[in-house]
Each structure stands twice: as C-alpha cells, then as structure tokens.
Amino acid sequence: MRTEPQKFVLLDRDGVINRVKDGGYVTSWNDFEFLPGSLPGLRLLAQNGCAVLVVSNQACVGKGLLSAKELRSITQRFVAEVVAFGGRIRAVYYCPHRAEAGCACRKPRAGLLRRAQLEHGFHFEETFVVGDSAGDVEAARLVGSPAVLVSSEADTEQSASSSGVKIVRSLYEAAEFIAATKLDRLPTFAGQGTCVNG
Ligand SMILES: [Mg+2]
Ligand SMILES: [Zn+2]
C-alpha cells in the first residue's frame, strides 16, 4: 500500500548508470559498462514504485562520433538489461548537441528536464535529480529539485554538509536514500527552498 504520490527520479546516464570512458564517449555497446550498484539501484527504485527517467547529454552525436540510430540501439540494449535485472526506465531523453551549439537542452541548462516534466507531469520540487557532475547539480538547482550526486571518491560525510547536495557513492546508495525519503519531508538540497522558474 502506497500512501504518498509516485516519486519521479531523473537520472544522468554516464557516471551514474554506466562508467565514464577514459577521455571519451560511449559510441558502441562495447563501451557501455554498468557501474557497480547501478543495476541493483534501478531495481530498488522499481521495487519502491519510482518512475525513472534518464536525462543525458550526448554531444558525441552532434560531433558526428555516433549516429542517432546507433544511440537508439545502445539505449535499447541498456534498457533491456535494466529490465532483465528487475528495473524499469520509463523514458530516455538525450541532448545531442555540442556545447558550442548553445542549445537550451544541454545540462547545466534545464531544457531537457523541462521537456521531461511536460511529458510526464511530475513536480520538480518532489523529483530527485541524480547526477555525477556539477552540471547535473546546477540543472537541478535551476528547476528547484533536490539533487543527489554520485561520486565514487567523495568523502560523503564532509561533502554532504558543505555543499547542500546529498552525496552518495553509487546509484544503489542514491536509490536507498530516495526510497527512504518522504516527499513531505524533503530536505532543501537545491536552491535553499526557492523554486526557480524561467
Ligand atoms: Mg554524467
Ligand atoms: Zn541540446
């Protein structure tokens, strides 16, 4: 029995679900390596009734290193593995543009998060944004969402208090935190309680 509304979780991809390749992009399925804890973390989110959306910058498409079709193929394969493990991903959003293109959707801008919000109707202030970079945290701050930063090297105790962002070591730890957090008791990680719109 669930007595609170469904939680939405917006996940970055590289560095959260799969390992960031040394100095490069994931341009083939061979490059896609699930990080420790990411498949169990996605399963835990599904078991807790969370709706998971992936929101990811993939400038490799704009740079011509990967076609949109190849990106779709990689996406289908990783989503299938997630499902086989007991997880669920409701939708995947990519910004394919290069940084120099100045688009509105590339994080740290909030365009892609807003598109996901329009299509799925969640409330940003009750939606967790999970990423591994400052750009993910900035995008979360722009929309007023609580941010969770996955950092394998972080001193989690110290960083959490100084930055106001929940720091975890893996997507599994992020999922544990999200599952344990009541929506009406959300700490104000991002924006100190101010919802920034526009
Ligand atoms: Mg990342
Ligand atoms: Zn873009």
Ligand closest to Cα of 56 equals 1
198 falls within a domain = no
* DSSP letter (8 states) at residue 124: G
Confidence of residue 194 (pLDDT cuts 50, 70, 90): very low
Ligand closest to Cα of 16 equals 1
Number of domains the chain contains: 1
CA of 15 to the centre of ligand 1 (A): 5
| In the predicted structure, residue 34 carries a pLDDT above the cut 50 | yes
Query: What is the side-by-side order of every strand in the sheet holding 51-57?
Result: 91-95, 51-57, 8-11, 127-131, 147-150, 166-168
111 falls within a domain = yes
CA of 155 to the centre of ligand 2 (A): 32
Q: Which residues are catalytic?
A: 12, 14
1 falls within a domain = no
CA of 17 to the centre of ligand 1 (A): 9
Tell me the per-residue pLDDT of 42-88, one tens digit each, with 9 for 90 and over.
999 999 999 999 999 999 999 999 999 999 999 999 999 999 999 99
89 falls within a domain = yes
Name 168's bridge partners. Answer: 150
CA of 105 to the centre of ligand 2 (A): 4
- pTM, full prediction: 0.89
User: Please, how many CA atoms are within 13 Å of residue 183, restricted to the half-sphere of its CB?
Assistant: 16
Ligand closest to Cα of 132 equals 1
15 falls within a domain = yes
Q: Cβ contacts of residue 115 below 8 Å, gap of 6+?
A: 93, 105
Least confident of 16-25, 29-38, 70-79, 125-134: 16-25
Q: Which domain holds residue 89?
A: 8-185
Tell me the per-residue pLDDT of 127-143, one tens digit each, with 9 for 90 and over.
999 999 999 999 999 99
List residues, by chain if needed, whose CB lies under 5 Å from ion ligand 1: 12, 14-15, 132
190 falls within a domain = no
CA of 188 to the centre of ligand 1 (A): 22
* DSSP letter (8 states) at residue 132: S
The span from the CA of 94 to the CA of 176, in Å, is 26
The span from the CA of 74 to the CA of 67, in Å, is 11
CATH of the domain at 99: 3.40.50.1000
